[in-house]
Structure formats: C-alpha cells, structure tokens
Amino acid sequence: MRMTPQRAAVLQAVRARRWHPSAHEVYDVVRRQIPKISLATVYRNLEELVGAGKLKRLQGVGRERRYEGWLKPHYHVCCVECGLVEDVDLEMDHSVEKRIEGLTGYEIFDQSVELIGLCPHCRKTVEESHARKS
C-alpha cells in the first residue's frame, strides 16, 4: 500500500482529534486540502487503512459507519439524545474475554463496548423538561 497524498490526508483527518467521523465528514475535511478528491477515494482509503490496522471502524453507532484513529482499546459513551460519541480514557477490563472464550469456543481478539446514556448537556435539558411537566 503506497502512502498517496489522498490516503495520508484521510488518515490525518481521522487521527486529528478524538473524533469519530463518518466517511462524508472526512470528505468534507480533506476536501479543504485536496479540493478534487473523490468521495469514492475517501471510502476506499478508509477501508484500506482499517485493513492495514491504522484506523478502527466503530461498531455501528448511528446510521453511518464511523472511524477512529485512537487504536488503544477503550470505552465509548453514546448519548441517545444528541448522538454524540465520546472516548473514555480508562483502562479496559479484558477479563471477560477469557471467560467468554472458554464458554463459547470463540477466539476473541477485540472488544467493542458502548455505554448508552445521556450526556451531561442533554441530561440537564431532559431534567428541565420533566420539571416543567410536573
């Protein structure tokens, strides 16, 4: 796999911040640098970078496929209200993997953990609307 300018720009865009962009969001960012890059190129390179282990694909949060550049295993918190997905920098517990390998006969090499709830902002909004009703 050659590191073309397009591919490098895609990689860099996803790595930039603790961000979980969709293909189209990456496209919008990269286009500022390479205005005539094709959306298909973004899609292709995202998948190739995942294949090469340089990016990870998020296990379906929302409708679109999302990517991330932080490769260390970590938890995600997801807000059901606004759709925000954030990383949690907390050492992951891998003990359950061993138990499940024994239980199922699977060979486990990764874990995808999403904690579903309300972000601080939406939490406040929801509480206020409850207060108004009662």
The answer to whether 47 touches 91, Cβ cutoff 8 Å, is: no
Pairwise CA distance, residues 31 & 130, whole Å: 43
Q: Cβ closer to DNA: 50 or 92?
A: 50
The amino acid at residue 130 is H
Q: Which does 12 bind (CB under 5 to 8 A by kind): a second copy, DNA, none?
A: none
Looking at the Cβ atoms of 64 and 127, the one nearer to DNA is 64
Contact between 129 and a second copy per CB under 8 A: no
Which one among 32, 63, 130, 133 touches DNA, defined by CB under 7 A?
Answer: 63
Are the CB atoms for 37 and 9 separated by under 8 Å? yes
Q: Does 23 engage in binding with DNA (CB under 7 A)?
A: yes
Closest approach of a second copy to the CB of residue 3, in Å? 25
DSSP structural state of residue 67: E
Per CB under 7 A, does 37 bind DNA? Answer: yes
Q: 94 near 108, Cβ under 8 Å?
A: no
Which position among 36, 72, 120, 134 is part of the footprint of a second copy (CB under 8 A)?
Answer: 120
12 burial via Cβ count (<10 Å: 0-12, 13-18, 19+): middle
Q: Give me 41's structure tokens.
A: 């190129």
What does the block give as tokens for 65?
């496929």
- In the list a second copy, DNA, none, the entry touching 75 (Cβ below 5 to 8 angstroms by class) is a second copy
Interface with a second copy (CB under 8 A): 58-62, 75, 77, 79, 86, 88, 90, 93, 96-97, 99-101, 103-120, 123
